C-alpha cells in the first residue's frame, strides 16, 4: 500500500481536520504500536546487539523522513550552522515495506532489490542512541554495505555502514508493501512539524 496523491477536491490537511472532528473527545494515540504477536526480537536473525559492541564513528544509511536534514538536526540538537552532511547512497539486498505511515526495511539477499537513501557520518554515540530511540523498539540496526555517490560522479562502496531495519518477522501482518513518498512528506507533513517547507 502506498500513500496516494490527495484527491483534487480536498487536501490531506482538510481530510485530517475532518477526521479529528469525528474523533473529538476520544483518546488519541497516533503512534503505531508493535505487533501484539510475540516479541519481534525473537524472530529476526539479523539483529545486531549494539550494547555489546564498542562505539566507533560510523556511517548511517537513512531513508524516509530521516533523509530530511532538518529532522536529523532537530533529533541530534545540532546547530543550524552545522547541518549534517548527507550524501546520496544506495542500499542493495533490502526491500521496503510500510508500517502504517512509516517505512521500514526487510533484508532479501537479492542485489536487484535496491533502496535509495542518504548516508552521513555519526561521530558521537549519544547521537546514534537518540536515533535508536526515535526509531522505537519496532526497529533494530544492522551493518550493511552501501554505494555512495561522490561529487565527481564516482560511486564508492562503503563497508560497515549501519541502517535501521524492522525488528520483527519479515512476514509480520502489520507490514504492507509500499514506498515512502518523500516529496509528499516535504509538502504535507513537514510543515506541521516545522511550520515551513523546503525551498
Per residue in 95-123, pLDDT tens?
999 999 999 999 998 999 999 999 999 99
Q: Are 10 and 114 in contact (CB under 8 A)?
A: no
Note the pLDDT tens digit of each residue in 57-94: 999 999 999 999 999 999 999 998 888 999 999 999 99
pLDDT tops 50 at residue 49:
no
pTM (predicted TM-score): 0.72
| Phi, psi at 132, each rounded to 5° | -60, -45
Q: Highest mean pLDDT range out of 6-15, 171-180, 183-192?
A: 171-180
The DSSP 8-state label assigned to residue 7 in this structure reads P
Asked whether 51 and 108 are in contact (CB, 8 A), the reply is no
| C-alpha span between 131 and 154 (Å, rounded) | 29
Of the chain, the percentage scoring pLDDT greater than 70 comes to: 71
Question: pLDDT for 181-194, tens place per residue?
Answer: 999 999 999 998 87
Tell me, rounded to whole angstroms, the distance of Cα 173 from its chain centroid.
19
pLDDT value at 40 more than 70: no
Q: Which three cell numbers stand for residue 56?
A: 566507533
Closest CA to 84 of 111, 122, 57, 116: 122
pLDDT at 137 over 80: yes
Which stretch of 17-21, 153-157, 166-170 has the lowest confidence by average pLDDT? Answer: 17-21
The whole-number pLDDT of residue 106 equals 98
Per-residue pLDDT band at 196 (split at 50, 70, 90): low
Share above pLDDT 90 across residues of the chain, in percent, rounded to a whole number: 63
Rounded-to-integer distance, Cα 141 and Cα 118, Å: 16
Residues 144-166, mean pLDDT to the nearest whole number: 94
Which spans in the chain are helix H? 12-22, 69-76, 125-135, 182-184, 190-194
Determine how many CB atoms are found less than 10 A away from the CB of residue 103. 21
Count how many Cα atoms sit within 13 Å of the Cα of residue 44 in the half-sphere of its side chain. 26
Average pLDDT, the chain: 80
Confidence of residue 32 (pLDDT cuts 50, 70, 90): very low
Query: How many Å apart are CA 143 and CA 122, to the nearest integer?
Result: 14
End-to-end Cα, the chain, rounded Å: 29
The pLDDT score that the predictor gives to residue 193 is 82
Closest CA to 63 of 197, 199, 178, 187: 178
Residue 127 has pLDDT above 60, yes or no: yes
pLDDT score of 35 more than 50: no
Question: Are the CB atoms for 107 and 169 separated by under 8 Å?
Answer: no
Q: Which three cell numbers stand for residue 76?
A: 541530534
**Domain 40-194: assigned CATH number:** 3.10.490.10
Amino acid at each position: 500500500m502506498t500513500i496516494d496523491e490527495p484527491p483534487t477536491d480536498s487536501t490531506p490537511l482538510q481530510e485530517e481536520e475532518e477526521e479529528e472532528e469525528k474523533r473529538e473527545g476520544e483518546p488519541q494515540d497516533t503512534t503505531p504500536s508493535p505487533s501484539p504477536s510475540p516479541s519481534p526480537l525473537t524472530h529476526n536473525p539479523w539483529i545486531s546487539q549494539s550494547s555489546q559492541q564498542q562505539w566507533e564513528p560510523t556511517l548511517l544509511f537513512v531513508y524516509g523522513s530521516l533523509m530530511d536534514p532538518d529532522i536529523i538536526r532537530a533529533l541530534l540538537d545540532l546547530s543550524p550552522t552545522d547541518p549534517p552532511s548527507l550524501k546520496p547512497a544506495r542500499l542493495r539486498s533490502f526491500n521496503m515495506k510500510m508500517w502504517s505511515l512509516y517505512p521500514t526495511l526487510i533484508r532479501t539477499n537479492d542485489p536487484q532489490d535496491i533502496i535509495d537513501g542518504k548516508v552521513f557520518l555519526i561521530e558521537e554515540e549519544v547521537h546514534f542512541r537518540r536515533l535508536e530511540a526515535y526509531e522505537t523498539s519496532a526497529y533494530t540496526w544492522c551493518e550493511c554495505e552501501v554505494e555512495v555517490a561522490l561529487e565527481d560522479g564516482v560511486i564508492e562502496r562503503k563497508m560497515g555502514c549501519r541502517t535501521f531495519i524492522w525488528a520483527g518477522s519479515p512476514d509480520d501482518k502489520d507490514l504492507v508493501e509500499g514506498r515512502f513518498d518523500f516529496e509528499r512528506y516535504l509538502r504535507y507533513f513537514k510543515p506541521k512539524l516545522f511550520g515551513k517547507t523546503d525551498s
